Amino acid sequence: MPKSGKSCTNRTSISSYFGELRTKTTADSTANSGIVDNFGEQCACQKSGPVKKQKHYPDDNGGPLLKRAKLCRKGQEKEDISSQSVKETWVPSCRGAGSLSSTLEKLKGFRLGPGDAKDRNNNRQSREVEKKEKLWRGPGPSSKKLALPSLNHFNEPGESRGGGRGPPGESGSTLETSAPCKIFKSAYTPLEQQYLQIKEQHKDVLLAVECGYKYRFFGDDAEKAAKELNIFCHLDHHFMTCSIPAHRLFVHVRRLVSLGHKVGLVKQTETSAIKASGASKNSLFTRQLSALYTKSTLIGEDVNPLHSFGDVEGGELTDVVTDPPESYLLCLSETWDKNSRQLTIGLMAVQPSTGDVVFDCFVDNSSRSELEGRVLKVNPVEILVASDLSDSSHRLLQSIATASVQAGDVVRIEKRDNTLFDFASAMNTVNNFYSHTQEIGSRSFSSVASLESPVICCLGPLIHYLREFNLEKVLLQHSLFQHLSCETNAMVLSATTLRNLEIFTNNTDGGVKGSLLWVLDHTRTPFGRRLMRKWISQPLKDVQSICERQQAVCEILDSDSITLPTLKALMSRLPDLERGICSIYHKKCSTQEFYLINSNLSRLGLELQALLPSIQSQLSSSLLRGLLLDTPDLLAPAHNFLKVLSEKAAKSGDKMELFYDLSVFPVLQERREEIQSVLAEIQDHLREVQITLRTPTVNYVTVSGQEFLVEVKNSMKSVVPSDWVQISSTKAVSRYQSPYLVEKCRRLSQLKEKMLIDSKKEWTNFLNQFGEYYYTMKKAVCNLATIDCLYSFAEVAKEGNYCRPLVQEGDRQIVIKDGRHPVIDLLMGEHTQYVPNDTELQGDRRRTMIITGPNMGGKSSYIRQVALLCIMAQVGSYVPATEASLGILDGIYTRMGASENIYKGRSTFMEELTETSEIVAQASERSLVILDELGRGTSTHDGTAIAYATLEYFIREVKSLTLFVTHYPPLCELEKVYPRHVGNFHMAFLLNEPEFVAKDGELKPDFITFLYQLTEGAAGRSYGLNVAGLADIPEDVLHIATCKAQELENTINSRRKSKRLLSELWSIKDRKRLLDWVQLNSHVQRHKSLVAV
């Protein structure tokens, strides 16, 4: 008999031994212990071949294995995946167990636990089922195995695939799980039957089933989880399975959710002690789906690291997938108007973790450019759409999801029944939701009904979806509903502009470094970081609001008050208060998280209260004063909630000892008195134990978490009464419990578990009281986020030597002196100096700049620089320049780069013209338009014609501030046509080696030095061969290219000369002038011939 790692009783050892002999032959397993009673058949089969011993993993929490698990808890909590990698063997049915079989049947009587009778019944059922299997299979060798059912149909509705594991030639006997044969229904274990029932109701969910101290996956779920988590998956009974330890649940759930899965937790709804005292003590533990998680709904104790580790300052959570900065759930609806032939799109996005809700309604075209811009601004992690979504919108969302995967992220797209998106169905859902809500301050139905119908068609499905996660409360408060793109308040930044200007991510690897957000985001808090992104995506158009932010930044930079450095220190090392209070509002937080969030809120409130006198006397910024004076009162309730809780119990997660004064909780007080009564009785019993053992010094001991054990030396075992139960033993001592202690310990366990249940109910009610102050707390956190962003602007301005721009509402102008590209300037650092450039665009004077020059001369960087400085100024930040005076822009529109769009079925040139068409339709005289090398996607003549006509349209009709980069010389002629409004500029360079003929007769390309300085006038050439040389194009290719370029240039010059001569000849009307002209040109031609010779 194998020896256990810890000394246990003989009964426990025998039970452990039989657990290791478990095989796959048994048709059903015991619900509580999970030990298979097929010992006779297994041992009889050993005659034909050796049988591998199996490691036993209990399906449930009952029986002796629970005791063994508790005794060895520390050793089993280690996440050792290799312990699962034991091959499992199918043992064929055999007859005649022999004497060994009968001996094992007798030894089974030593097993502990209430499931013995059921085990024997299961064994008989197993043999009956085996007989029926033989009848069903027909004659044949007994070693043939029956094909197993599959769970594939759960993931692909309407399609049933056999998942049999039988030998070849038996595919016809494969059973379908969706309609199992009645003969084999009993072949599933109770746990498997329970799993199938739950899975039938949640086919699209990856289910993790609680089984004692671990969570198990089954079937296809197991194979997916094993692949994503890199853990071992094996066959157990009828399904593949893998498991994860309960104390590492949040790590694995977060990893699965981050990869785009919807994960459900199936938990036991009854405890072992209460179950043992009930009438169903021999049945399977009841389970139900208790929680669902996706990327946007990752809220709850099970997925919160604080639930397991308390304070995370030690850096122990390196393997935990962190939350994204924003986790919006986006819902879309489409409405096609047949009369106007217009597509109206409704949009609503909710962030359950923070409580933010945005919505929009707009008309879009076939390119879905409006939708793309809004999706990029929201940056959702999950998208909810109707099953009949249009192909154009679906292709766009798929392209965004694919781009997110390439950037190392996953955007989950879920299709729902299209009937949920019908206006009538959505309105009915909204009506029922708001009419049955009694909470104070909830958005009334009349206010919601005033929203546009496409938005209602999004709100209804969102309520229906969030109800599955118990997160629908986030949609109650109307103050959280914000319009996404209100043109009257914010500058318009299209999706193309966000990409081309690299506002949030760079175009190299999709990372944040190298973007404008990377430059400006020096925030210290997660909620400040989210607000910073929102500010950058929606630059202000209100001059007063911009000036208030600038004044606050100016005061932070220039003030000598000690109040501001103190505030900066307070903002450091704060947890995510915004998500924390929202988790409390949803009643899904742990005691550790609640204490952490409220203690920080209380501390901030008290410290800000102490700073109020200095804030009133020393600060002049109206924005800073208003934020700081308002926040302490908003945070005051947090201190009251802390006074009710025990700090020690809150940090350890002990809900039974959580509340100081139980008089407020009469149910808990009654339970506590009952427990104290039982403890007193146990303590009184100690005197009887001492008299029985004749040892007055004996006392209770606790071993491996089991309390009230009587420890007796093995030399004195003779004095122990025969009815005492031996719990454990070592070489020196044995530990017992008297029948009275066994009964009282059982009663004590029941009372403790009942009190734990009651404590959880009171904890939920306590969290509900906090919900009454949720909106005031959220406002306070929003004030703190605003202060954090202002400090970030000040830090950026100080480090980069920025200036405060003058923003004026009436003027249409962009005047910048010594402006620098904010991203490139920061990337270059102090060792390399960025070359500054001036910009001057005036709406009533020169409003268009045509920029030419050599390739790689800095043209694109310059025009991006101008746009980024305008965005920074209207966000309220300082700008990298010596001086800047800017008018309010209503939008920035860009057309840059050359790339095809496969998902939309567009070529490079089509993508160019589509973006240009959208700019023509949307730009106004208060917009900044940037066009970079328009027309290069087609032939030279067509490209020149399109570029010329487009630029002239912006000059003459739109009258916007325009920066136009081109390599087409004819466009520079527009300066002569519109001298007041158009100016030619080029990026300066030095021609180091003029073109010459080498000794070997080969032409050498030009070599130039870039000066990156904007200079007036048009450039004569683009010097593309210089870039070819920098790119290490082979010398032979460069030689041919240089000769060809010279040949083409000579041809063009010859044509131009012929045109000029013909024009001169045509203008001569005098015979004498004609002879002089002929003589002059003949002399010039002879001179050129002599020079050539």
The DSSP 8-state label assigned to residue 831 in this structure reads T
Residue 646 burial by CB count (10 A; 0-12/13-18/19+): exposed, middle or buried? middle
pLDDT tens for 443-495 read 467 778 788 999 999 999 999 999 999 999 888 877 678 888 765 688 999 88
Please report, for residues 20, 29, 30, the alpha-carbon distance to residue 54 in angstroms, rounded to integers and kept in the order given: 5, 15, 17
Q: What is the pLDDT of residue 305?
A: 63
CB 916 within 8 A of CB 895: yes
The structure tokens listed for 17 are: 């031994």
Spatial strand order of the sheet with 214-218 comes to: 234-236, 239-245, 214-218, 206-211, 263-268, 287-293
Task: List the one residue out of 842, 851, 903 whose CA is nearest residue 1012.
Answer: 851
* pLDDT, position 935: 79
Gap between the Cα atoms of 84 and 781, Å rounded: 47
Report the amino acid identity of residue 29.
S
Beta-bridged to residue 1007, according to DSSP, are: 993
pLDDT at residue 999 is higher than 60: no
Please, what is the average pLDDT of the chain? 78
| Residue-level pLDDT at 175 | 33
For residue range 872-906, what is the model confidence (pLDDT) as tens digits?
Answer: 999 999 999 999 999 999 999 999 876 655 555 56
pLDDT tens-digit profile of 141-191?
333 333 444 444 444 333 333 333 333 333 333 333 334 444 444 588 889
Considering only CA atoms, which of 97, 104, 131 is closest in space to residue 35? 104
| 796 Cβ contact list (under 8 Å, min separation 6) | 519, 520, 522, 802, 877, 878
Helices (H), 259-343: 272-277, 306-309
Rounded Cα distance between 450 and 447, Å, is: 5
Give the separation between CA 386 and CA 331, rounded to whole angstroms: 9
The 3-state DSSP class for residue 208 equals strand
Going through 338-480 in order, the beta strands assigned E by DSSP cover 342-351, 356-364, 382-386, 412-416
Alpha carbons within 13 angstroms on the beta-carbon side of residue 763 total 26
Backbone angles phi, psi at 770, to 5 degrees: -65, -30
The residue whose two tokens read 């500010």 is 535
Task: Determine the angle formed by the axes of helices 591-610 and 774-800, rounding to 10 degrees.
Answer: 70
Give the DSSP letter string of 441-483.
TBPPHHHHHTS-HHHHHHHHHHHHHHHTTT-GGGGSBGGGEEE
Is residue 114 scored above 50 in pLDDT?
Answer: no
Q: How confident is the model at residue 857 (pLDDT cuts 50, 70, 90)?
A: confident
Q: Which range has highest mean pLDDT (133-142, 273-282, 543-552)?
A: 543-552
| Closest alpha carbon to 778 in 355, 443, 481, 442 | 355
Separation between Cα atoms, residue 309 and residue 593, nearest integer Å: 10
Q: What percent of the chain has pLDDT over 90?
A: 42
DSSP assignment letter at 284:
P
The SS3 assignment for 526 reads helix
pLDDT at 33 over 60: no
Which uninterrupted H or E stretch holds 983?
Answer: strand 982-993
Q: How far is CA 753 from the centre of its chain?
A: 36
Q: Which residues contact 272 (CB under 8 A, 6 or more apart)?
A: 61, 62, 66
pLDDT at 985: 93
Maximum distance among all Cα pairs of the chain, rounded to whole angstroms = 150
Residue identified by tokens 């003029």 is 994
Of 392, 393, 413, nearest to 401 by C-alpha is: 413
Closest alpha carbon to 529 in 802, 757, 327: 327
Separation of CA 555 from chain center: 37
Q: What is the pLDDT of residue 974?
A: 92
DSSP string covering 230-273? T---EEETTEEEEEEEGGGHHHHHHHHHHTT--EEEEEESS-HH
d(CA 149, CA 388): 33
Mean pLDDT, residues 540-550 taken together: 95
Q: 254-263, 729-738, 1035-1044, 1078-1087: which has the minimum mean pLDDT? A: 1078-1087
d(CA 76, CA 67): 13
Cα–Cα distances (Å) from 271 to 62, 105, 191, 267, 752, in that order, read 9, 30, 16, 11, 11
Question: Which one, of 675, 640, 639, lies nearest residue 657 by Cα?
Answer: 675
Strand-pair category, 492-493 with 891-895: parallel
* Residues whose CB falls within 8 Å of the CB of residue 891, separated by 6 or more in sequence, listed in order: 491, 492, 493, 494, 922, 923, 924, 926, 927, 928
pLDDT at 264: 94
User: Which residue in this structure is represented by tokens 């009848």?
Assistant: 135
Distance CA 660, CA 649 (A): 10
Query: What is the rounded distance in angstroms from the CA atom of residue 355 to the CA atom of residue 552?
Result: 27
293 touches 263 (CB < 8 A) = yes
Which three-class secondary structure state does DSSP give residue 189?
coil
The answer to whether 174 and 162 are in contact (CB under 8 A) is yes
**pLDDT tens column, 1014-1068:** 989 887 766 666 666 667 777 777 667 777 766 666 676 677 667 777 777 777 7
Alpha helices in 801-923 (DSSP H): 822-828, 859-875, 908-922
Residue 501 has pLDDT above 90, yes or no: yes
Q: Indicate whether 45 pLDDT > 70.
A: no
For strand 706-713 and strand 700-703, is the pairing parallel, antiparallel, or unpaired? antiparallel
Tokens of 771: 């919900």
pLDDT recorded at residue 300: 85
Q: Which tokens sit at 957?
A: 């009709």
Q: Which helix (H) or strand (E) holds 315?
A: none
| CA torsion angle 862 868 870 872 (round to 10) | -140
pLDDT tens by residue, 400-421 = 888 877 666 789 999 999 999 9
Name the β-bridge partners of 126: none
**Mean pLDDT throughout 263-291?**
78
Q: Is the pLDDT of residue 23 over 80?
A: no
Strands 382-386, 412-416: pairing kind = parallel
For the stretch 779-818, pLDDT in tens is 999 999 999 999 999 999 999 889 999 999 888 999 999 9
The per-residue b/e assignment along 520-534, b for 16 or more CB within 10 angstroms, e otherwise, is: bbbbbbbbbbbbbbe
| β-strand partners of 624 | none
Phi, psi of 1026 (to 5 degrees): -65, -45
Would you tell me how many other CB atoms lie within 10 Å of the CB of residue 338?
6
Q: According to the model, what pLDDT value does residue 274 have?
A: 65
Q: Say which amino acid occupies 723.
A: D
Predicted confidence at residue 476, as pLDDT, reads: 84
Give the model confidence (pLDDT) of 653-681 as tens digits: 888 888 988 888 889 999 999 999 999 99
Name the E strands within 91-224: 206-211, 214-218
Weakest mean pLDDT among 135-149, 323-337, 379-393, 541-555: 135-149
**Under 8 Å between Cβ of 806 and 870:** no
pLDDT of residue 261: 93
Q: Kindly compute the dihedral angle of the four CA atoms of residues 229, 235, 240, 245, in this order, to the nearest 10 degrees.
A: -40
